[in-house]
Structure 1
């Protein structure tokens, strides 16, 4: 309130407004020149800092001088010319020093330190100017207001300059200007509040107010001229046109976040290097680089932390480059490098430097992490004679490095990486397999061992690839699980099998395999219920098969889903029994409706007493738990005879029937099975049971 009272009652308000106008316009010019100084290097930077200091120091000095003239001391006033000029020089020199410190990029708090120095320089200018202020009277000072004024100038200037350098807000330019104006105005009027003048009757004539106003206007004119000079310097920069062109060119060829060359620059550079390699008979290595744990930074600390990490990595990569080496950012967390070399050791040295740099810890505020990276290397001309092939092969090697936890760097190997290329190509084709009607359900009969009655059919998926022909499930099912395609494929198989089975005259049961991925990523029980309602298939005709590995992955969740499905009336079978890690515990955890004995035991049951003993033990276990057992992989009459002697419940295998499409199973529509079931008995023909697998 004392400060406000001082302004309102002891100052000429229109001169105060004039001082404020000088301060705002001078500050605006100052920060425009300061930004230009931050964009320059070397002598140009020093020149722009000088212009910034002149604009800042002179505008602050003019503000101070006009505001002093606005002060109504009620006594004759004069000014010491030497001290008055000294105050101007102090302002300019101090601002130059502060702005220089603020633009030091290697110090974290340099902008705030530089801003504080500017605030101290302005304070020194103010009180030097007050020493030049001579008045016929007794001048007294309040030390508290003096300290407060210096503190205001220093703190607000530090915030203003810090905001101008960091630009952490969209309104940073306006915020910086506002803080700087508050620093200057707060300093002056708080400092003036600290002064009290008691006039003395010396007989001297008082200062003419008109003269003071004229002086103020003259000083304001000089201030505006200096500000105009700064604007003119900014506008007529001789290199502005060239710099604008260079900036646009830089944006077109460099990554906006990290400043590294982008994908366009990488392609152009690699093309030139390959042409040079052909002429000079040297080799060129293309390196694909993918950060391993970058996503964790974004997830844990946000994208701003991720951006900081990328900037840090980019700076480090730029510093390690030598002649014949090039690095670009080609994607989110992906980089690519080119190395021209003649000796293998030169390439290994470059790879070693890359690996060392990429695994160095990164400090982001109070958080320290290490991204690590996977690096793939392809070499011209051995691994490709053109740009596209080299980049593709480097990527394949990089993916192999990412999959191998023991290695961060992999060189292209045609045998291994071509298999990976084929696998990726197959994955792309599989994405459109349903849309293009390339998938087809096959059915393999399941029969009673003792009577030969057909108990049902297991649904097996086949993929008829237009170029590769029939792709075995053992090849494409793992790919579907890795890429999440198994969710759509599994739903299609379940719906299609139910739609086909509901039209059969004889209500055979169908068994459909479920992938562990379906349990982890889908509301499976709801999906099964919806498909049963949609197709009209009776729930007791549907049997879902799962493996022990499905339960082990997430036992609590899986068993909960199984109980929900079983509540619908659908039966659950435990597939591939005997090959898991906790078979007995699995049986204890859930009341399965059927156990399917893995085919590996049947393949050895005729020659191996151990395999035969295991089959007998499983069958005994099933009878003890009152769970039917189905033996898979029956391929001979002897195997079937052993199962009959051991009183196995059901069997399936090539001996009993190969998997076939629906149109080969039913020859006269859905009511009659072609050489599988007679319409009246629903049994396998006697001759079929007795013959060996000869077809």
Structure 2
């Protein structure tokens, strides 16, 4: 519709201009005989000019190519010619009118050629800023040559000598009509310019609004909020008032998406946005930076005002929601920071509010948390560690160390457990008990787990004697249905036979979603990969889990081994676990063995395999090489009978 409007205005402006040019020139023409004008043909000539140029412009802009431009220009030239000769048909004289056809044909060719060239120039990008001047000049030449060459073709022979004056009334009427049409041309140009300005202004406003607002909730987005935050901080500084920054992260929102679908999730976000916006005062702003996060700011003088503001937001978030056929409620973790108490610039203020919000989430606090520097520095430290860990994964700055696993009966090495190690460039060695939970909290456990698996398989391929490598799998990894496909691809890429790979997982990982976990484990076992139940004896220690899935190994938790000496109760528990393993034909590996007494007791009770510092410390392949700890585990000589009886 917009294209049609511009074509209409262009054709009216161009056609009327051509028509005015012709009849202004005819007002100056001295025929030497009385002249009258046919009003109908005069009007028709104007319509021909407007309609013909409209068709030409439509063809020229139909396709963005040179051929269409030239054809459109030729049609405009034809419209100029048709208007001229229609106008001349309206020119009635007291004499005989003759046309010299060579000049007529020449005028038609001039109009078509120069007009086609004009449109070709307008569509030629190589002319750059000269396109419009060159195209305009050629179009003017087309109109002028058509008129003057065609008028040269005209010959008028008077029928009688007459001294009667020309019909000045009709000439005055023609002049008035020409002036009016000229005014129409000017008005059309002005109107077109205004439309262009309005259209551009409206488009710029729409683009700016789209760039600054969230498409789903119609709230300011991150960019829009940052602009408003900067403005509000400026006002707060100038007026010596305080500014509260509220960071909001929705609880249980993922459950809504998973259970009811993303459409329901979008409806919830829209409803909550509408609620919170209705609670905003004249100087308050709520925005959605992205995902299930919202932020809000308010200027205040008294802290009571800030508390009331946050309370209104809480009420809006906690009230029950009816979205489609289901009803739900969505809570939120809320963190608050205040300018200038907690920060003096926008970035620090936002970061501190985020830290307070993360503290509320980690503590499971139903109440909003205000920024507290000593407490929130711990969270800031964990976030910095998460960023450093992400870079370490990307830049391959992690290490895998290997700890020997050996048969107690034969003292032969059976394999190695892959243990992830991270040496921070500034903080030094960081324990896995510190960075693994951070990886799980920040969505890094999947790339981290893949990195470890790929590295362990790559290293193990170069080992002799077909020794196994055991790799730990986290509950988060086990929750992903494509884990078997990933393992299969890694083994294909590295060339490690599946029988040499063993994954270790705790029963807690299985119980999170038992049916799904067992389904994934069956797929992994079908690849030929071994599955070991780690840390047995702690957590659930469910016999049903052992019955439901044929594990290849049970790993007795180091807690029992460490308390073995001098504890008949612990020995009784170990004896029961070993008996359970034998009855199910599942070998048992005891981890955390540090003394010869512990090893002797386990050997006496019939434990199958052992792992611990007594056998060997974890080493990096790059430092020791597999052969350095494949030559034989460092098993001390067995204690004598008295030591064994004392331990028992």
TM-score of the superposed pair, with normalisation by structure 2: 0.60
1:660 aligns with 2:610: no
Q: After TM superposition, list the pairs within 5 Å mapping 1:71-220 onto structure 2.
A: none
Alpha-carbon offset, residue 599 of structure 1: 0.8
**Residue equivalent to 1:498:** 457
Quick check: 434-443 or 408-417, which moved more?
408-417
Does the C-alpha gap of structure 1 residues 478 and 382 become closer, same or farther in structure 2, counting only changes over 3 Å? same
CA contact 1:677–1:685 (8 Å) conserved in 2: no
Does the C-alpha gap of structure 1 residues 689 and 374 become closer, same or farther in structure 2, counting only changes over 3 Å? same
Alpha-carbon offset, residue 340 of structure 1: 2.6
**Residue equivalent to 1:684:** 634
- 1:521 is paired with a residue of what secondary structure? coil
CA contact 1:282–1:340 (8 Å) conserved in 2: yes
Structure 1 vs Structure 2 CA RMSD: 4.1
Q: After TM superposition, list the pairs within 5 Å mapping 1:292-441 onto structure 2.
A: 292=251, 313-322=272-281, 325-331=284-290, 333-361=292-320, 370-403=329-362, 405-407=364-366, 409-441=368-400
Q: 2 CA distance for matches of 1:249 and 1:685?
A: 73
- C-alpha distance after superposition, 1:247-288 (max 9, x if no partner): 669838963755655545543444454455556654321112
- 1:654 is paired with a residue of what secondary structure? coil
Q: After TM superposition, list the pairs within 5 Å mapping 1:271-290 onto structure 2.
A: 271-275=230-234, 277-278=236-237, 282-290=241-249
1:574 aligns with 2:533: yes
Q: 2 CA distance for matches of 1:537 and 1:310?
A: 48
CA contact 2:334–2:356 (8 Å) conserved in 1: yes
Does the C-alpha gap of structure 1 residues 284 and 688 become closer, same or farther in structure 2, counting only changes over 3 Å? farther
Does the C-alpha gap of structure 1 residues 491 and 296 become closer, same or farther in structure 2, counting only changes over 3 Å? closer
CA contact 1:452–1:684 (8 Å) conserved in 2: no
Does the C-alpha gap of structure 1 residues 390 and 684 become closer, same or farther in structure 2, counting only changes over 3 Å? same
Q: 1 CA distance for matches of 2:440 and 2:397?
A: 18
CA contact 1:377–1:397 (8 Å) conserved in 2: yes
Q: How many residue pairs were aligned? A: 451
Q: 1 CA distance for matches of 2:445 and 2:248?
A: 30
- 1:375 is paired with a residue of what secondary structure? strand
Q: After TM superposition, list the pairs within 5 Å mapping 1:215-294 onto structure 2.
A: 251=209, 255=213, 260=219, 263-264=222-223, 266-275=225-234, 277-278=236-237, 282-292=241-251
Does the C-alpha gap of structure 1 residues 330 and 443 become closer, same or farther in structure 2, counting only changes over 3 Å? closer
Q: Say which of 589, 593, 607 aligns to 1:648.
A: 607
Does the C-alpha gap of structure 1 residues 561 and 393 become closer, same or farther in structure 2, counting only changes over 3 Å? same
**Residue equivalent to 1:519:** 478
Does the C-alpha gap of structure 1 residues 303 and 601 become closer, same or farther in structure 2, counting only changes over 3 Å? closer
Does the C-alpha gap of structure 1 residues 431 and 625 become closer, same or farther in structure 2, counting only changes over 3 Å? same
1:487 aligns with 2:487: no
Q: 2 CA distance for matches of 1:240 and 1:628?
A: 81
CA contact 1:486–1:517 (8 Å) conserved in 2: yes
Q: Say which of 416, 430, 440 aligns to 1:457.
A: 416
**Residue equivalent to 1:168:** none
- 2:601 is paired with a residue of what secondary structure? helix
Does the C-alpha gap of structure 1 residues 526 and 413 become closer, same or farther in structure 2, counting only changes over 3 Å? same
Alpha-carbon offset, residue 309 of structure 1: 5.8
CA contact 1:254–1:262 (8 Å) conserved in 2: yes
Q: 2 CA distance for matches of 1:303 and 1:561?
A: 26
- C-alpha distance after superposition, 1:467-513 (max 9, x if no partner): 33333222222333344433333333333323322322333222222
Q: 2 CA distance for matches of 1:552 and 1:449?
A: 31
CA contact 1:361–1:369 (8 Å) conserved in 2: yes
**Residue equivalent to 2:466:** 507
CA contact 1:512–1:545 (8 Å) conserved in 2: yes
Q: 2 CA distance for matches of 1:527 and 1:311?
A: 37
Alpha-carbon offset, residue 349 of structure 1: 1.3
Alpha-carbon offset, residue 556 of structure 1: 3.5
Does the C-alpha gap of structure 1 residues 609 and 484 become closer, same or farther in structure 2, counting only changes over 3 Å? same
Q: 1 CA distance for matches of 2:587 and 2:268?
A: 59
Does the C-alpha gap of structure 1 residues 638 and 413 become closer, same or farther in structure 2, counting only changes over 3 Å? farther
Does the C-alpha gap of structure 1 residues 593 and 266 become closer, same or farther in structure 2, counting only changes over 3 Å? closer
Does the C-alpha gap of structure 1 residues 266 and 606 become closer, same or farther in structure 2, counting only changes over 3 Å? same
CA contact 1:453–1:684 (8 Å) conserved in 2: no
Does the C-alpha gap of structure 1 residues 497 and 242 become closer, same or farther in structure 2, counting only changes over 3 Å? closer
Alpha-carbon offset, residue 440 of structure 1: 1.8
**Residue equivalent to 1:113:** none
Q: 2 CA distance for matches of 1:398 and 1:435?
A: 28
Alpha-carbon offset, residue 391 of structure 1: 0.8
Does the C-alpha gap of structure 1 residues 459 and 313 become closer, same or farther in structure 2, counting only changes over 3 Å? closer
- C-alpha distance after superposition, 1:491-549 (max 9, x if no partner): 33333323322322333222222223333214444444444444443444332222212
Does the C-alpha gap of structure 1 residues 292 and 528 become closer, same or farther in structure 2, counting only changes over 3 Å? closer
1:594 aligns with 2:544: no
- C-alpha distance after superposition, 1:429-481 (max 9, x if no partner): 33343431212221101123344332221111112333333332222223333
Does the C-alpha gap of structure 1 residues 243 and 299 become closer, same or farther in structure 2, counting only changes over 3 Å? farther
Does the C-alpha gap of structure 1 residues 556 and 663 become closer, same or farther in structure 2, counting only changes over 3 Å? same
Quick check: 281-290 or 593-602, which moved more?
281-290
**Residue equivalent to 2:403:** 444
Q: 2 CA distance for matches of 1:524 and 1:555?
A: 16
Does the C-alpha gap of structure 1 residues 609 and 263 become closer, same or farther in structure 2, counting only changes over 3 Å? same
**Residue equivalent to 1:629:** 588
Q: Say which of 638, 641, 645 aligns to 2:597.
A: 638
Does the C-alpha gap of structure 1 residues 473 and 298 become closer, same or farther in structure 2, counting only changes over 3 Å? closer
**Residue equivalent to 1:553:** 512
Q: Say which of 552, 555, 572 aligns to 1:613.
A: 572
CA contact 1:656–1:689 (8 Å) conserved in 2: no
Query: Gaps (5+ residues) in structure 1?
Result: 1-231, 691-695
Q: 1 CA distance for matches of 2:541 and 2:201?
A: 71
CA contact 2:554–2:581 (8 Å) conserved in 1: yes
Q: 2 CA distance for matches of 1:414 and 1:534?
A: 48
Alpha-carbon offset, residue 574 of structure 1: 1.6
Q: 2 CA distance for matches of 1:437 and 1:269?
A: 40
